[in-house]
Structure 1
């Protein structure tokens, strides 16, 4: 049976590809300077250092490769309608073959205007191994920047994402601690009667919402998820 399967993914799915997580014991956001450099304040007040930080992240993503969990999700498109809602700013889902990916926090593979990051006229693809230089013009006279949501900026697209989760036949959460808001609120929009799963090596208390826990890393957890999906489709 062809079903509408929706995934919500976080940093845990990409950490197995060598991309550092942002929160947790070894997360980037434990370093106050890095938190600052990922902010709109740094973009405008310490632009050169901000760009160096973003260019380093872009290079890390460029050097990474999709892992088995990304490939598993992409492969499901052969049999199901699959939507990926991701908190990640890498492009590993797309490189694995997923064709319907919503980036809640933007994408390092794109650049935009510093004056208005939502102005579609100045949003474009840019190879992640090509650094953004101080003084690079976005096209409107402003500094070119990564098309990602910085600290101090709002997350767009949440309403559309919530509607997608509401309509899911199966909803799966992978690799997120559910501490990043407003994205974490999406778990509450899944219909009470549909199968719901969460894959994470550290347990999060959401049993009351009807989620089945797969206590595992992303690449190992999708093997168990495949068994669960096989059972559902019998």
Structure 2
């Protein structure tokens, strides 16, 4: 398949499923989890900052890390890639579905609505006793660990190492990729499962699966077409 054929397939498709990863947010200046481990945080393993045992051992330290990332995310803005996907959703309507591995909330801020956040959201926290999700206070008013309106301590609303993805979000994503005509895999390395398996599910059902990534990934040889571009540039070419 070439670019013109990929464009035509996307244009005529009534059901489109999209998976995005860190690559689309990098253009908004948001570092990946590991890239954010600089200075004081460079001496920690990821599991020391993002796992249930780490939180049980030192919730104050874990919250210090996540409060810093929360401030970074709030300072970032959606980029053209986020906006192009929001526009594609408006075009396709109910036939569109977006699953993201990112926790920065930029897709929603760009206008995406038919969306699941597979790994959670840094802008919110979860009541440890009730499981309810609440938005975090503004950074200048945030006290960590934060307390929910119920009076209970809250944990970051993200999926940690050793935890399962939210069942309802994963099921919705699997259903969308199982039934789509075209799938877009944007800015993701294709090594984090089960999210990476969504592309293979779509391929198995006969969908056209298009990857946008500046570098080849483990998925590249298995997919219908790949654009070696950053997220925004690749989406602009595909939607031209």
User: Do structure 1's residue 197 and structure 2's residue 210 form an aligned pair?
Assistant: yes
Structure number having the greater helix percentage: 2
> Is 2:80 the partner of 1:76?
no
2:5 is matched with which residue? none
Structure 2 CA distance, aligned partners of 1:32 and 1:167? Answer: 44
Question: Larger deviation: 31-40 or 3-12?
Answer: 31-40
Mapping of residues 87-98 of structure 1, within 5 Å: 87-98=101-112
Which consecutive unaligned segments of at least 5 residues does structure 1 have? Answer: 228-234
What are the ranges of 5 or more consecutive residues in structure 2 without an aligned counterpart? 1-11
Measure the CA separation in 1 of the matches of 2:107 and 2:192: 20
Equivalent in 137, 152, 173 of residue 147 of structure 2: 137
Report if the CA contact (8 A) 1:8-1:172 is conserved: yes
Deviation at 1:152, TM superposition (A): 2.3
Q: How does 1:18-37 map to 2 (within 5 A)?
A: 18-22=29-33, 26=35, 28=37, 31=42, 33=44, 35=46, 36-37=48-49
Alpha-carbon offset, residue 79 of structure 1: 1.6
Number of residue pairs matched?
A: 221
The two structures have a TM-score, normalised by structure 2, of 0.83
Length-normalised TM-score, structure 1 = 0.84
Aligned equivalents of 1:63 and 1:125: distance in 2? 16
User: 4+ residue runs of structure 1 moved beyond 6 angstroms?
Assistant: none
For residues 62 and 122 of structure 2, what CA distance do their matches in structure 1 show? 14
The alpha carbon displacement at 1:128 in A equals 5.5
Relative contact order higher in (CA < 8 Å, ≥ 6 apart):
2
Instruction: For residue 34 of structure 1, report the CA deviation from its aligned partner.
Output: 5.0
Distance in 2 (alpha carbons) for counterparts of 1:73 and 1:217? 14
